[in-house]
Structure 1
């Protein structure tokens, strides 16, 4: 089935206390695709999703979702599922009772509500905990119930803000499976996430929001293919946190920290030394290297380039 355009945003702008939050955002979403929305805290990701959901009205530009304006038209908002980062459920109600409440809020008639609740319980694999209080469930089940509440009206567009935050690998895999099934049924998904592996696993396209503007947008395979024509990434795993002297040596070799014990370089490092020579070079400089990994650069390298604007790809990809 040929995808349809579900979201067309052109030049979206929004200010808060005279400071721009979004400044000329262009974004198009199609049915049956997943787009990962990346960006640092404060870049405007949640604000953009609230605009798409109809919770805010744009102050500049134009926004059409399913052919209408979500902030003005209730019928348009019914075609949108909004999954906030916070668990927006009542902890002293069961999963089934929560879903019945949200079915009423979604405007479903009495005769529709029972069927809709049963449908999303099955879709989110929640039947085993349907009659358990939300407040006693694991974080993974709460996240799935949070998503299920947004599916009751069979939305065409589903907006998810950090849907797997704070849960374990098994629960994350269950949510990823649910999102895959929603995409396969023809929904458009926009997922705000800080997890690069999650974005690579789920997304057809990525959009990087930087200071209220889209700094990079495009099909993930195309962006990665263009990136991987360059040198591989080098990742250094340390046995102990780097001392100031060791950190200076790593930075001089082209590395940047990505964790307390991990440093990474996306370009040729240490005058082109191979892995073994680089290991010896860094240890000679007093760096407590445990191992060096060489791999193809991934989404994180694209993201960092989009934030600093260093790579021409960030200006030309579409």
Structure 2
């Protein structure tokens, strides 16, 4: 991924396979990530996102294939592992220690000498904008501050690659914006960022590239702008909001019309590939005449969520799921 100006990718994974307790959790993974770009991993729970990040972080070796970060095997090269910042989904901090004390511990673990440690802690505090809480115990901080300190701890070794697993889970909008600002600064500084998230808005805002995973495979990957441009080249999506859960007859009518449920089942969506020729008002009337409790019809430009559904539906529909498939633009 990336433009022609990119040289050797910082992260290179070739045909990597991983098994856990006798079960294959990653199969035939091929992926690259250059410096200075953000790659978002998207997929359902159990798709293999965290396992893939553990391979890249050097926490696990692949059973087959190759994983390289900066040209070296992160599992076998301690210096390479130290150049990787790992931010797990859980808060990996000492709750009774202050923020500054936590960062001091992680600086020591990163191999930073005592004389340089204070400056490194101060730099991380400033970079993640948490200096105002440096003297407070981590356990007394809000979830948003804890997550920013979690990121700060991963930066003590000035990593070239930062891996983040659901970095904004459970935080409010203000904390989310603060975390996004930190990730933006990391990207501007030339770091490669690998981000696993379930948040489509977050991925669409932050990512340069995306990789969709299902069943331990990458079913589609590429530059986000290019993939979105292809899916938006066709007809817009129709989205239906229901006043009540549909009964069996209403659900059958929706599916005949090319709609499928999303979220709680009160929202149903069909892309332009469904072949809709009716405008919103005509579609509303046609469905209501069939007993569908429609409260609203929306016509929307397809976004990352539509791209995700298309990737998973096409990528898991048979043996061809073993390799990324090209996105089909609507006709």
Residue matched to 2:326:
316
Superposed counterparts of 1:184-263, under 5 Å: 184-260=188-264, 261-263=266-268
Match of 2:289 in 1: 284
**Structure 2: how far apart are the matches of 1:271 and 1:188?**
41
Most deviating of 232-241 and 22-31? 232-241
1:74 matches 2:75: no
Cα pair distance change 1:219/1:206, threshold 3 Å = same
State the match for 1:116 in structure 2.
120
Pair 1:58–1:286, CA change in 2 (3 A): same
CA distance in 2, matches of 1:51, 1:268: 37
Match of 2:301 in 1: 296
Match of 1:22 among 26, 33, 47: 26
Distance 2:26 2:233 in 1: 33
Equivalent pair of 1:42/1:211 in contact (CA under 8 Å):
yes
Q: CA deviation at 1:314?
A: 5.4
What whole-Å deviation, never above 9, does each CA across 1:294-318 have from its counterpart, x for those lacking one?
111111122112212179995136x
Q: State the distance in 2 between where 1:98 and 1:46 align.
A: 24
Q: In 2, distance between residues paired with 1:56 and 1:148?
A: 23
Normalised by the length of structure 2, the TM-score is 0.90
Judged with a 3 Å threshold, the aligned counterparts in structure 2 of structure 1 residues 286 and 134 are, in CA distance, closer, same or farther, namely farther
Q: Which residue of 1 aligns with 2:155?
A: 151
Which whole-Å CA distance do the structure 2 matches of 1:245 and 1:90 have between them? Answer: 55
Deviation at 1:17, TM superposition (A): 2.6
Unpaired stretches in structure 2, ≥5 consecutive residues: none
CA distance in 2, matches of 1:188, 1:290: 45
Q: Which residue, 276, 280, 291 being the options, matches 1:275? A: 280
Q: Kindly report structure 1 stretches of 4+ aligned residues shifted beyond 6 Å.
A: 310-313
Residue of structure 1 equivalent to 2:62 = 58
Among 101, 104, 109, the alignment partner of 1:100 is 104
Cα 1:271–1:40 shift into 2, 3 Å: closer
- The answer for the alignment partner of 2:130 in structure 1 is 126
> Equivalents in 2 of 1:28, 1:63: separation in Å?
10
Q: How many residues align?
A: 316
1:268 is displaced (CA, Å) by: 5.6
**Structure 1: stretches of 5+ with no match in the other structure:** none
Task: Tell me if the contact between 1:3 and 1:32 (Cα under 8 Å) persists in the aligned partners.
Answer: no
**TM-score (normalizing by structure 1):** 0.94
| CA RMSD between the two structures | 1.9
1:13 and 1:212 map into 2 onto residues whose CA distance is 9
- What is the alpha-carbon distance in structure 2 between the residues aligned to residue 315 and residue 270 of structure 1? 22
CA distance in 2, matches of 1:110, 1:175: 28
Question: What per-residue deviation string (whole Å, max 9, x for no partner) do you get for residues 30-60 of structure 1?
Answer: 0100001111111111011011111111110
